[in-house]
Chains A and B, each alone.
With several copies, the nearest count.
Chain A
Amino acid sequence: MKTKRVLIANRGEIANRVARACRELGHTAIGFYTDNELNAQHLQYCDEWIHLKGSTNAETYLNMDAIIELAVQHKVDGIHPGYGFLSENGIFAEKLNKAGIVFIGPNVEAIKVMGDKATSKALAQKAGVPVVPGTSEAVPTIAEAIKVANEIGYPILLKAVAGGGGRGMRACYDEDEIKKQFEAVGRESLSAFGNGDLLVEKLILNPRHIEVQILADKKGNVFHFFERECSVQRRHQKIIEEAPSPFIGEDEELRRELCETAVRLAKAVNYDSAGTVEFIMGEDKSFYFLEMNTRIQVEHPITEEITGVDLIVCMIQSAFGEDLNIPSQEWITRSGHAIECRICAEDPITMLPSPGLVTGFETNFPQGVRFDHCLFKDLEVTPDFDPMVGKLVAKGIVRSVAIRKMRAALEGVYIEGLKTNIPLHKVIMNEETFIAGKYSTSYISEIAPQDKINTEVDFTSIYKKMAGIEAKRLGM
């Protein structure tokens, strides 16, 4: 296999991750640094460093033309977009194809179909994949919305066609609420996503967010790598993920059905890369297709940990038309349980982003902990970028062992100068509902573990910090 030149059009921990996959494959990893991140830590795993001029995302990691120009100029064979930024942008993928550069992701058609709520839902239905009862096309009027609501029953959700990440949706428990909310949500969506069209959907109560990892090659082979549960969310953004799902638990029948449904959908869209099919699961274990993310996902490590496969490596191989060396679905097995805690630069109680300068960073972990991160002493966490600075992953033979390991791992992260949500994770790892695995997406709002964080400052903790500072001052 000829070694390739791979450009990573991303930053932070995922850029590290992709570069390390290239390192294994013998490919040349090429990384960007921008005006506002000259000391981009992810360059440390890259073989070549390129200056992507500008500071705003629009000037840099969202700037298709600048990226493609640099890619051509540096004779790049393929571009890995990571997650976020241009990772699900069909136009970008199209432009790359035109430029003769491989987009390390799925085919353009798949991106486009799955990128639109309505068309993806329609496709799912055609493929016999259960979807949340509701409309697959935009609902033009309030009257129409109410008509649909009466068919599928309350509560319902008003949802922006172009929305995502939990933004642009509103729950309505009766007709009046629809009348009140309809136009407001429409206006919001228009300004937020440039599209005011709304869908009406049945609202699933106490839902679980469960997703299936897909990996496919360019030869029509589509495999699943089991599921992940991502129900611990704040503001509809995941902060803790696990594999396998504690809600599905020992129900192998349900697990197989869910995973095979995801594969069926992926095949229907001729999927040919790493991707994730997201489902919402009700308390009765009925599940409905939400959306398909046509990219690698933040939480991919927990799947790698329980299946032993390197998803990023496979994704790159698939993009270049190489074999995945996976003989069959049955050949893919899972063992143990993995948990991921997203480490974010945010206030652990308000969970609002809290940028800052990392003045000290150390770790001291038990065995078998994985920490994908972009932290280093002197890292400036700016509001420009995602507040997530790392992903702490612990694996055990069973869930209780993974939780035990995660507790010890959280105790072993020392970050100075930055507020992080580590104190929140520490509480959750000792909170009974989580330990019992009986949580839904409303966990944070209902159980409110953030309220159990002990914020008391004791002198020992102050002396520890001061002593570290004074010792450093002495040049020790």
Chain B
Amino acid sequence: MRTYLIDSEKNEVVVDLTKTIIHSSDKVEFEFSSFVDSELVNKKSVIIRQLAGSYFYSENGVSWSKIAKQKLPKKILSIDRVFDVYRGYKPSGLAGGGEGALLTQMPGKIVKILVKEGDEVYKGQTLVILEAMKMENEIKCGVDGVVKSIHVKEGDALDSGILMLEVE
């Protein structure tokens, strides 16, 4: 699963959960990979352990620090910075170059195209599912409109920046 963190200055960090190993009912290991501008900038395995009802975090299994449990929030704060959090897909506003033009944001494979040309679509509707980095990404529509043209088909392996379809 991937998560987009976008802060007030529109700086963007993409955090991929690239591995999950469940050791026991109260011990789980995650591998996170972080991307900035589609570049892998950091990758780390971390362990979460539940103890006496609280979560503890470790990177080596020896030293542990307490962390707060939280459900997926809309915002993540760090000191004075606020990140908006989008999980699994990019928010419509950011789903490709022009409002109506959906471009691939990273190399990937078209898993499914959910509309055909001429369909009326609304802002936020999922148009395409793109598999990238072992994750399925719902590509949402940025505007209300009609599907003008589709330039790809299911199964296509695409580079980054390819125009998939246009809405007007």
Contacts and interface: CB of A to CB of B under 8 A. Distances in A.
Interface in B43-68: 44, 46, 48, 50-57, 59, 62-68
B79 A476 contact: no
Interface in A404-433: 412, 414-419, 423
A356 interface: yes
Contact of A455 (B46, B55, B80): B80
B75 A356 contact: yes
Given A415-B68, A462-B13, A362 B80 contact: no
Contacts of A39: 26, 51-52
Given A460-B59, A467-B46, A453 B80 contact: yes
- Chain A, interface residues (CB within 8 Å), range: 35 or more
Given A47-B63, A419-B80, A423-B79, A468 B57 contact: yes
A467 B70 contact: no
A43 B26 CA distance: 14
Contacts of A461: 78
Interface of B is mostly: strand
B52 A359 contact: no
B1 to A, nearest CB: 8
Contacts of A454: 79
Contacts, number: 164
Looking at A43, A419, A453, A462, which has the most chain B CB atoms within 10 Å of its CB? A462
Interface in A281-335: none
A77 to B, nearest CB: 16
B42 A476 contact: no
B78 A360 contact: no
B31 to A, nearest CB: 10
Contacts of B59: 460
Contacts of B50: 471, 476
A44 B68 contact: no
A457 B79 CA distance: 8
Nearest 5 pairs of A and B residues by beta carbon: A360-B68, A360-B70, A376-B52, A359-B73, A41-B52
27 contacts: A28-B63, A43-B51, A44-B52, A44-B54, A46-B64, A349-B80, A356-B75, A359-B73, A360-B69, A361-B68, A362-B66, A377-B70, A417-B75, A417-B76, A423-B80, A454-B79, A457-B79, A461-B78, A462-B13, A462-B78, A463-B15, A463-B46, A468-B48, A471-B48, A473-B72, A476-B26, A476-B50
